[in-house]
Structure 1
């Protein structure tokens, strides 16, 4: 039985429900990452005893499941585009935006499937965007491919943000500090392709890189699922 199938216990002097528990856990995670979340810390924030929370969930992993499902509710747009590319683009962009608001989400994306109502609704929206364009196996592989790109791009971006904070250097300051080493290595002639990228490539921000990569992935999906023009 999943955490969503179990009934909540009756109310007591300190009002509790899963909604309050999840909100407190998300607030802790937003402040200090997943390491800051424990049943004891959530209970303390709610002025309740830790054992009371076990009436609403059995493990910390179930708490994480509830947190992910809550954030999945932020990903679903109020209006869903009819065009399949735009529908997947919107869901992908909103997933990235949610992960930048809640960086801990990057650590949980791509884990076990989200079986909560919001998680299932996000999956439904992805599959529905491609419904009728190809057989269901092709549609599923297409959705998995887009999701793999989105998860990988988000994790990389969040990792860079964390590294920047840990070093105390902005990306520009880090580039300046590491520049002499990189230039010395490129001057050896051992890395010609990398040298070309460094000297001739265009530097873009993370949002632009994400959108460009996503468009390329959607182009590949289109080659597999989109109907030819009439």
Structure 2
């Protein structure tokens, strides 16, 4: 039985419900990442005994499932996109934006399918936008392909943000600090392709890089759907 199938306990003194528990867990995760979340810490945030939570949530994994589903409410578009391409683009961008607001989300994306009602609604909206364009297996592979790109790009971006905080160096500062070493290595002539990329390539911000890569993925998907 999933956590969504299991009824909540009757109301007791010091009102408690899954909504309040999840909100407290989200606040802890936003402040300190997933390591800051435990049933004991959530109970302390709510000023209740830890055992009270077990009537609502059996494990920390169930709590994570509820947290991820809560964030999927932010990913679900307010309006139905105009076509399949816009649907996939909107989902990708809204997922990235949610992950930047809740960096811990990057650690929980990409595993088994999320089965909460909000996540199911996101999936339903996505599949509905592609309905009739191709056989269902092709549609599923299209959605998986865009999802894989989205998750990979998000994880890379979040990893960079965490590295900046851990080292105290911005991306520009890090490049400047390592510049002399890279210049010496490139001067050996052993890495001509890399040298061309370093000297002639254009630096772009994370959002531009994400959007460009997403458009290329959608172009490839279009070739399979049309």
Tell me which interval the TM-score lies in, with the shorter structure as reference length: over 0.9
Query: What is the match of residue 69 of structure 2?
Result: 69
* Correspondence 1:47-196 to 2 at 5 A: 47-196=47-196
Cα-to-partner distance string for 1:33-83 (whole Å, 9 max, x where unaligned): 000000000000000110110101110000000000000000011102121
* Greater displacement, 76-85 / 90-99: 76-85
Unpaired segments of 5 or more residues in structure 1?
A: none
Please give the TM-score of this superposition, normalised by the length of structure 2: 0.99
Q: CA deviation at 1:172?
A: 1.0
Residue 103 of structure 2 aligns to a residue in which SS? coil
Query: What is the match of residue 212 of structure 2?
Result: 212
Residue 193 of structure 2 aligns to a residue in which SS? helix
Q: CA deviation at 1:13?
A: 1.1
Residue 189 of structure 1 aligns to a residue in which SS? coil
Unpaired segments of 5 or more residues in structure 2?
A: none
Residue 111 of structure 1 aligns to a residue in which SS? coil
Q: CA deviation at 1:107?
A: 0.1
Coordinate RMSD, CA, aligned: 0.6
Q: CA deviation at 1:188?
A: 1.2
**CA distance in structure 1 between the partners assigned to 2:128 and 2:93 by the alignment:** 17
Runs of 4 or more above 6 Å deviation:
none
* Greater displacement, 185-194 / 145-154: 185-194
Q: How many residues align?
A: 226
**CA distance in structure 2 between the partners assigned to 1:141 and 1:224 by the alignment:** 10
**CA distance in structure 2 between the partners assigned to 1:83 and 1:210 by the alignment:** 20
Q: CA deviation at 1:112?
A: 1.6
